[in-house]
Amino acid sequence: MAKKKAEQLRYNAEVASREELDYLRKEDKKRYKPIGWELSPHAVVEYIMGKKTKDFEITPKYIGSRRKIEVAVATLASNRALLLIGVPGTAKTWLSEHLSAAISGESKHIVQGTSGMYEESLRYSWNYAELLAKGPTENALVPSPILSAMKGGKIARIEELTRIPSDVQDSLIMILSEKILPVPELNMSIPAVEGFNVIATANEKDRGVHELSSALQRRFNMVHMPLPESLEEEVEIVHSRLESLSDLPPKRDKNMIEQIKKLVQIFRELRSGVTSDKQTRFQSPGSTLSSAEAISVMQSALALSENFSKGKLSARDISSALAGTIVKNTDQDKKAWNEYLELVLKKRKDWKDWYEACREDFDL
Amino acid sequence: MSTKGNIHVLGIRHHGPGSARSLLAALEEIQPDVIAIEMMDDKVNMLELLTHEDITPPVSLLLHLKNETKRNILLPFATFSPEWQAIQFAKKQETDIERIDLPYGQMALLDIGEELEKDNEDVLAQLADLAGFENVESWWDHYLEREGQPVEIFRQLQEIMTMVREVAQIRKIDLLREAYMRKRLRSLSSKYENIAVVCGAYHGPVLTKEALGDIKGDNALLKGLKTKKVACSIIPFSYKRLSRISGYSSGVTAPLFYEMLFSEQDNIAEKWLSKAGRVLRDKGFSASVAEVMSGVQLSHQLCHLRDMHLPGLAELEQAVLSTVCHGHEERLHLIIDGAFIGQKIGYVPDELIDSPFIKDFYSKVKSYRLTKYWQTEDPGKESKVKSLDLRKPMHLNSSHFLHQLDLLDINWAVQLEQNNRALGSFHEDWRFEWDIEDEIQLHHQATLGATVQQAAALAVMEKINSPLTLLEAIYLLDKCILAEIDQPVDAILRRLNELTAASEDLHELLHSNIRLIQIAKYGSVRNTDTKAVLKISTRLHAKICNQLPYSCPPMEEDASLAFFRTFSKYYQLILQAQFEGWLEEWLFSLQLLQTHQPVDARVSGFALRILHDQTDLPFEDVYNELVQRLDSVYDPMPQAIWLEGFLYGGGSVLLYNEDLFQGLSKWVENIDDTTFTMVLPILNRTFASYPGKDRQDILRKVRKSDIRQKQQVGTEDQLLAWSESALQDAINKLELN
């Protein structure tokens, strides 16, 4: 990567992976494409899971079960809305962005769900100047991202669906089942163009906050996004994400892999409350410890080591960010982390540097 | 090699519905003169059993060595098993059919043990894994069970298996079996023109016409194999069990789905998903038709995505999870029984049962009106409980019968623990829970005798002759009396005699004799001659009394409590049973015990109390002992334990005996507060066991004496705290009840 001037922080999936998408579009002539899709379901799966051919390599966007991805793609191909559920940091948003980019060629029709949301964010609002001047006309209508996606036959994305108040959620029902959006003010309804669909994500830890009504639930196919199955898989996820994310890509040397492995192991053990050899049980902290957190810990560690410790990543670089991630200002987290340090890390001989660094940060 | 026969190898997967369909089509096309089938070639009537008109699969053949039921094998068949279809095809078309696999009578004698248990699908599993499938089944479903030219499918399969075998480690047992199968094929091909070989696909490549050449090699392999006679019976089987078994015939994870796949393949997704929806609705979840339909759509899309013609198990499972189950894995687990496995149970008509034992079993079940409990595998409903009143002859007989089954390890009926299984109880409660295992066990035991009673007697004899503990022998004796089988009783008594002589563990002896005393007592209810039992029991009692003074050293708290419980129970039984001379012997032994220190404090305390209650032991002795025991120079903890033993027999002694009361009162007075909290639980336990009235009387007495000794405020507080907490305990107990 050449040195760049200050640029946009991050590019949309369709921009970042333009080459790959173009390549697939060119190759993907023979297979059946649902109307409104840029790629065949097959090619979408390949785009997500990655593929190597003689002259071209498509990087994997998701590391994990291919079958899950197939279910997600098949859902969208059968014209059903897709709901990705999982604990934070299981690549739900990431996956929804890439699916939209691959299927519609764009991923920009997005609504961020919040608890203070009104129906307008899902339906439409008004340009009041226009409204006052000419009365209710189609021109005065300001479409929501959902409505734009309907009109353009694209995928609309809703983040954190279960944070949206239930009555607001329910305005999706008609959009999903009848594929129209009624505009009573104009005595009309706007139909969706083929190719329109919805991908929503929901946080499992929010379950029960604004549980989907059963009417809405029926209109989604649910795909549960799991935490990475094996240590190796998770290490690979962290590593490859670091490579694509930062300006300071981690070296693929032994030390780096070793340190990532140790970090991921700590996360996995804290999540499950038991050591990887199943010998010791301890209390699990309440904080979310997914691969996403591991990645951000590593990012700050990389910055530290690059700027202050001559580039060789050490336990000390990681430990400071680590404590902040695990201990989210509650006494319980603090107790759990202390217990883990004393019960587990202290006993591991080849983890001495980790124990000492973490201990020091803890005591500060 | 001059074989004139033409050999078509049709490699199948055991219990593969696609295999079954393709096989039928291929047989139709080939129209063979003979079907050579991979089934064990023992000289038993397997095929006749399987082609009986009234049989309904799933059923299983049960082969075992004659006179040795432990070595046995199950060969299950479902409608969708290719072998079942081949056999039915042969019957319908009147085609000859020959079994060609190595006889079980030879296989069982080979020293290969575990190998037989393992499946040869290991290599296939690797292959499936490489191709990205979760298991062998879905791999088969994908590649080999689809529609197409049947003969062509079998040819392709043969090619794949040839490659598989090149890399696989072929087990010795398979080499032997294949040599045997080739030998059989050689002799068949001199008789028949057109042979269809139905065998596991894995064996296919070495059963072709070309492979028959090496006669010498095969003969050398098979040389010197020993043969034993084998017995064969047929039993009803269940889908549930079919999904569980593993080993020789591979287990099937979803029999119900496979049945649907075999018999109504069109619209399988619609049919199966509506079934799944129905099951989920029955469990109280919403599963609308619209959701089922989106499940169907999703499964079709998945098929399309994976280049499949028909959705397989994996596609349907994923589709149902995402739609009907709303992504909840737990709901998927709820429908496993109802939608994947199924509850089908096979049927075998009575006339196929030729064993007199089984016939006897069924006639007993019928005449004791237990039919409704047998062969109903319904996990949804609670198992059924039947109460027997042993004063009614029929109930007594059924009780005997059920105890006999227990001795045969057929666990269909389980006797429920009686709250008070005391002497002379006329009631027994039995819980019935039928499982296919019971059926199998029944057939296992069929060789033991012509009637259930005979077989049970024989089973007991076998057990007596194996290593036993004293308690196990007594359990057998007990059971024999309950089951009313007399033949082994003498043998058990002889064995008991030996065992009592050998046993030195006092606790075990006490335990054993408690059972024996009970047998001697209630045995008479059941018209058993109990004199012989009483004789042994008396001898055992003598032994116990002899040993007691020397075998009660101080024990750890848990062991001490357990021992004390047995000890006191034994004493109660002696009082109840009133056998001549027993009590005297026991008291004499306790007197000796008192002189042999150290003795476990609790036992020692109780012994003193028994002597106080039962003999004319002068009161001063008791008082002196108490005072010495409770001297304040010693540690109060063992003292409290000693007191627990002493006061175990009831509180009256404190009420009517001022001196003892004062002695105790003084002891409490001398304990400081911390120690008092330590001994409080033990005292609490002691007093909580007293009847409420005794406790109140004691409390009153404490209060009264307190007025007399006003100056001793500390004592009052402590005693009050103690007796009140005991009271509180009693109140709690009352409320709980």
Is the bond preceding residue B598 a cis peptide, omega within 30 degrees?
yes
Tell if the CB–CB gap between B302 and A71 is shorter than 8 Å: yes
The tokens of B153 are what? 């499918």
Q: What is the pLDDT of residues B360-409, one digit of tens each?
A: 888 888 888 888 787 665 544 556 788 888 888 888 888 889 999 999 88
Please state, in angstroms and rounded to a whole number, the distance separating the CA atoms of residues B18 and B81. 9
* B83 pLDDT higher than 50: yes
Q: What is the pLDDT of residues B197-246, one digit of tens each?
A: 999 888 989 998 888 888 888 888 888 888 888 888 888 887 877 876 54
Contact B409, B70 (CB under 8 A): no
Interface subset of A 301-320, CB within 8 angstroms of B: none
Contact B488, B464 (CB under 8 A): yes
SS3 B469: coil
CB contacts of B306 in chain A (<8 Å) are 70
Higher pLDDT, B639 or A34: A34
* A99 pLDDT higher than 90: yes
Helix (H) or strand (E) holding B37: strand B34-40
Tell if the CB–CB gap between B326 and A222 is shorter than 8 Å: yes
- pLDDT at residue number B728: 62
**Closest in B286, B305, B327 to A223, CB measured:** B327
Interface subset of A 39-68, CB within 8 angstroms of B: 41-42, 45, 66-67
**Considering the entire predicted model, what is its pTM?**
0.65
- pLDDT at residue number A4: 56
CB contacts of B132 in chain A (<8 Å) are 66
Higher pLDDT, B242 or A18: A18
Residue among B286, B292, B301, B313 with most chain A CBs within 10 A, to mutate: B301
Q: Is A73 on the interface with B (CB under 8 A)?
A: yes
The tokens of B367 are what? 């005449």
CB contacts of A204 in chain B (<8 Å) are none
pLDDT band (50, 70, 90) for residue B722: low
Please state, in angstroms and rounded to a whole number, the distance separating the CA atoms of residues A284 and A175. 42
Lowest model confidence (mean pLDDT) among A300-314, B189-203, B411-425: B411-425
Please state, in angstroms and rounded to a whole number, the distance separating the CA atoms of residues B431 and B420. 17
> Number of A:B CB contacts under 8 A?
64
Please state, in angstroms and rounded to a whole number, the distance separating the CA atoms of residues B53 and B50. 9
Q: Which long-range contacts (CB under 8 A, 24 or more apart) does B216-225 make?
A: B217/B179, B218/B179, B218/B180, B218/B182, B218/B183, B219/B183, B221/B175, B221/B176, B221/B179, B222/B176, B222/B179, B222/B180, B222/B183, B225/B106, B225/B109, B225/B110, B225/B176
Contact B486, B523 (CB under 8 A): no
Q: What is the pLDDT of residues B310-319, one digit of tens each?
A: 788 888 889 9
SS3 B309: coil
Please state, in angstroms and rounded to a whole number, the distance separating the CA atoms of residues B163 and B127. 11
Tell if the CB–CB gap between A221 and B322 is shorter than 8 Å: yes
Lowest model confidence (mean pLDDT) among A324-333, B206-215, B460-469, B488-497: A324-333
**Closest in A67, A77, A83 to B301, CB measured:** A77
Higher pLDDT, B277 or A313: B277
**Closest in A73, A85, A218 to B327, CB measured:** A85
**Closest in A80, A217, A218 to B298, CB measured:** A80
* Burial annotation A259-274 (CB, 10 A radius, 16+ → b, else e): bbbbbbbbbbbbbeeb
- pLDDT at residue number B349: 83
| Nearest chain B residue to A217, by CA | B326
Please state, in angstroms and rounded to a whole number, the distance separating the CA atoms of residues B229 and B66. 6
Q: What is the DSSP code string of B80-149?
A: T-HHHHHHHHHHHHT-EEEEEEPPHHHHTTSTTTHHHHS-TTHHHHHHHHHTT-SSHHHHHHHHTSSSS-
Nearest CA-CA partner of A200 in A183, A180, A225, A181: A225
- pLDDT at residue number A311: 67
Q: What are phi and psi of B669, to 5 degrees?
A: -55, -40
* A66 pLDDT higher than 50: yes
SS3 B252: coil
Helix (H) or strand (E) holding B463: helix B452-464
Helices (H) and strands (E) in chain A, counts: 16, 11
CB contacts of B294 in chain A (<8 Å) are 78, 80, 221
- pLDDT at residue number B422: 46
Cα–Cα distances (Å) from A83 to A61, A89, B203, in that order, read: 19, 16, 47
| Nearest chain A residue to B305, by CA | A42
| Nearest chain B residue to A41, by CA | B305
Residue among A30, A44, A78 with most chain B CBs within 10 A, to mutate: A78
Higher pLDDT, B297 or B702: B297
Contact B311, B269 (CB under 8 A): yes
Running DSSP on this structure, what letter comes out for residue A246? -
- pLDDT at residue number A45: 93
| Nearest chain B residue to A40, by CA | B305
Please state, in angstroms and rounded to a whole number, the distance separating the CA atoms of residues A84 and A73. 12
What ipTM was predicted for this assembly?
Answer: 0.77
Please state, in angstroms and rounded to a whole number, the distance separating the CA atoms of residues B636 and B480. 49
* B128 CA: distance to closest CA in chain A (Å): 15
The tokens of B551 are what? 């075998």
Average pLDDT over residues A128-156: 92
Please state, in angstroms and rounded to a whole number, the distance separating the CA atoms of residues B9 and B36. 9
* B727 pLDDT higher than 80: no
Q: Is A336 on the interface with B (CB under 8 A)?
A: no
Average pLDDT over residues A181-197: 92
Other Cβ atoms less than 10 A from the Cβ of A343: the count is 14
Please state, in angstroms and rounded to a whole number, the distance separating the CA atoms of residues B147 and B40. 30
Cα–Cα distances (Å) from B50 to A271, B20, B45, B184, B354, in that order, read: 55, 16, 9, 21, 15
- pLDDT at residue number B380: 46
CB contacts of A223 in chain B (<8 Å) are 322, 327
Q: What is the largest CA-CA distance in chain A?
A: 77
Nearest CA-CA partner of B258 in B505, B601, B17, B580: B17
Please state, in angstroms and rounded to a whole number, the distance separating the CA atoms of residues B402 and B483. 7
CB contacts of B302 in chain A (<8 Å) are 70-71, 74
* B439 pLDDT higher than 80: no
Please state, in angstroms and rounded to a whole number, the distance separating the CA atoms of residues A122 and A198. 12
Tell if the CB–CB gap between B302 and A70 is shorter than 8 Å: yes
- pLDDT at residue number B119: 52
Place of tokens 């079993």: B361
Tell if the CB–CB gap between B305 and A70 is shorter than 8 Å: yes
Averaged pLDDT score across all residues of chain B? 80
**Closest in B288, B291, B305 to A45, CB measured:** B305
* B413 pLDDT higher than 70: yes
The tokens of A35 are what? 């109307």
CB contacts of B326 in chain A (<8 Å) are 217, 222
Percent of chain B scoring above 90 in pLDDT: 10
Higher pLDDT, B629 or B132: B629
Q: What are phi and psi of A227, to 5 degrees?
A: -70, 155
* CA angle in degrees (0–180, nearest 5) for B239-B242-B245: 150
* B296 CA: distance to closest CA in chain A (Å): 10
Please state, in angstroms and rounded to a whole number, the distance separating the CA atoms of residues B581 and B578. 8
Give the strand pairing for A81-86 and A220-224. Answer: parallel
**Closest in B134, B304, B322 to A222, CB measured:** B322
Contact B77, B234 (CB under 8 A): no
- pLDDT at residue number A364: 64
- pLDDT at residue number B731: 57
Lowest model confidence (mean pLDDT) among B332-346, B433-447, B478-492, B592-606: B433-447
Please state, in angstroms and rounded to a whole number, the distance separating the CA atoms of residues B404 and B399. 9
Q: What is the DSSP code string of B147-172?
A: SS-HHHHHHHHHHHHHHHHHHS---H
